[in-house]
Amino acid sequence: MKTTYLSIVVLALMTVACAERPVEQSEMTETAKQFVQRIQEEGAVLNKEISAAYWVRSTYITPDTAILAAKAGERGLSFASSMVKQAKQYRDSTMDQDTARAIELMLRGSSAPAPDDAGLRAELSSILTDMEGQYGAGKYCSDVGDCMELQELESVLAQSRDYDELLDVWQGWRQVSPPYRKQYQRFVEIANQGAKDFGYKHLADLWQGGYDMESEVFVEESRRLWGQVKPFYEELHCYVRGQLSETYGADKVPLNQPIPAHLLGNMWSQTWDNIYGIAEPYSGVASLDVTKALVEQGYDELRMTKTAEAFFTSLGLPSLPESFYTNSMIKKPRDRNVVCHASAWDIDNGNDPRIKQCVEINEEQLETLHHELGHIYYYIMYKDQPSVFKGGAHDGFHEAIGDTIQLSMTPAYLKQKGLIAETVDSDQATINKQMKMALQKIAFLPFGKMIDEWRWQVFSGEIPPEDYNAGWWRLREEYQGIAAPIERSEADFDAGAKYHIPGNTPYTRYFLSFIMQFQFHKALCDAAGYEGPLHECSIYGNKVAGKKLGDLLAMGQSKPWPDAMEAMTGQREMDGSAIIDYFAPLNAWLKIENEGQQCGW
């Protein structure tokens, strides 16, 4: 996915990055409540320092900042290991409900648990810092000497319809990741040891255990959710493959095979909305060219960010602090390498929220700004919670908020903001609008699912190091119906060409968020008193819906996520039925269009 709410090790450390304190100093000499209070006090002291080190690393990629970030990360990893050891002592103690919740959250560890060994902790921190740095500085230099960074390569994939040019840039970016394949293998070894030291079987077990349910139950739950939406994805895949076959020829896109991965308008084939021009059901009906309007009206990075903020404030949520605009990086610097992958940061317990995004003047980046501000408003609204409760009810909640707002960016809203000239009320216009949305939201679902399926199998040993690439493409074909356009081998490391692999950011959160955002959207539309087709609802300007949203954000992770879900939606489980409701017109249309076609792969 194009965004994440925390950078690499900051993600692992934000709630546990505290000064190292040996376990022996607190062997049951304090109550569980006192222990939790101490952890939070120490965390408040160093959290800002460690976050700042990683912020500088991400916005100034140099050997010097790598040293600073690695050392900061090492301190945090050391404390995380010590903290979990201490927290284990209180498992069977009598304590109040909030303290018990805090201990439970501590015992979940981080996405990169460090072993109880100083040398391995230092090595782990160094590997994580270096991998992200290599990714952030990556570029592809062609045979004629022209070099392009990721943003430029992505623009080619989004705009070009030349099969060979697309293949060249797709292949070119994947030259970035093989150099850190061995580092990633070593990361898996060390982090697995850390997970075992934390009491888990391996890192997959730890990641799967972070959802207020047993690991095995969560795995089955995620499969259930995929099963709800898979038939709709298969209809979309069938239709898009047919349109691509007409565009490039059946010799390049056979109608009974997976789709070549470089033809879907995105470096990772994770969203397909950039090929809307190929897939558009009714040519020219209800133009939705927001990018053209942004350019013609002279939008810059600041105005786009202010536009995103205005949606949240229209709901009654507070304005962003001035420090947000002073401290954020919303424009790519010309004089240095940075990690352009968009992310939101909570530097100082809600007092210094900021984003890092190389904003470009287009619709996708405007949507990304809404996504990032979803994280920022989470930080702001739960800032008064104890530190250990500062987080989403689970990580999918954090990712879902901004995307829920995106669903209210309807044609009527865009017209109100002057970003489209008119709205067209017709069945054809509805199908076009839904197709554009489905190419983003529905196309993403199997990709969101398979990335951690790959990592879970890597962490558990089901996919051994000698099969990293083969396992990656096996899952891409199984889930997405996507295939590599050229032969790949184990000399490649195609998983590592996606930021979240070297950045070690768990990805199931995005899959869950793409399910829940429709569930949230329906609940907010109901709160707003909206009556009508779900896809036409916008909560823009509705303070009642805004209060329901703000109340959810203010809870943080103080309660198990089913409690938060119930407060928001009245349901206690994640549910994909709102997606089917939202896209009902397109789903019916696709089934008719695909009649007689050989769907599947």
Strand ranges across the sheet with 3-4: 3-4, 342-346, 353-356
Q: How far is it, in rounded angstroms, from Cα 391 to Cα 378? A: 8
Alpha helices in 300-394 (DSSP H): 301-314, 322-327, 363-381
Share in percent of the chain as helix, strand, coil (round to 5): 60, 5, 35
Cα dihedral sign for 525, 526, 532, 534? positive
The closest of 555, 593, 525, 172 to 394, measured between CA atoms, is 555
CB-based contacts of 69: which residues, under 8 Å, 6+ apart?
Answer: 9, 53, 54, 56, 57, 129
What are the residues facing 139 on neighbouring strands? 149
**CB atoms near residue 335 (< 10 Å):** 6
Q: How far is it, in rounded angstroms, from Cα 111 to Cα 427? A: 46
578: tokens are 């709102």
Q: Tell me which residues are annotated as active site.
A: 341-342, 371-372, 375, 399, 500, 510
Place of tokens 């319809």: 161
The closest of 366, 226, 235 to 291, measured between CA atoms, is 366
Amino acid at 72: A
191: tokens are 């982090």
The closest of 475, 471, 470 to 489, measured between CA atoms, is 470
Distance between alpha carbon 288 and the CA centroid of its chain, in Å? Answer: 25
Cα three-residue angle 35-39-45, rounded to 5 degrees? 150
The closest of 58, 14, 173, 67 to 496, measured between CA atoms, is 173
161: tokens are 């319809």
Place of tokens 């160093």: 46
Cα three-residue angle 191-193-199, rounded to 5 degrees? 105
448: tokens are 């969101």
Contact 156, 149 (CB under 8 A): no
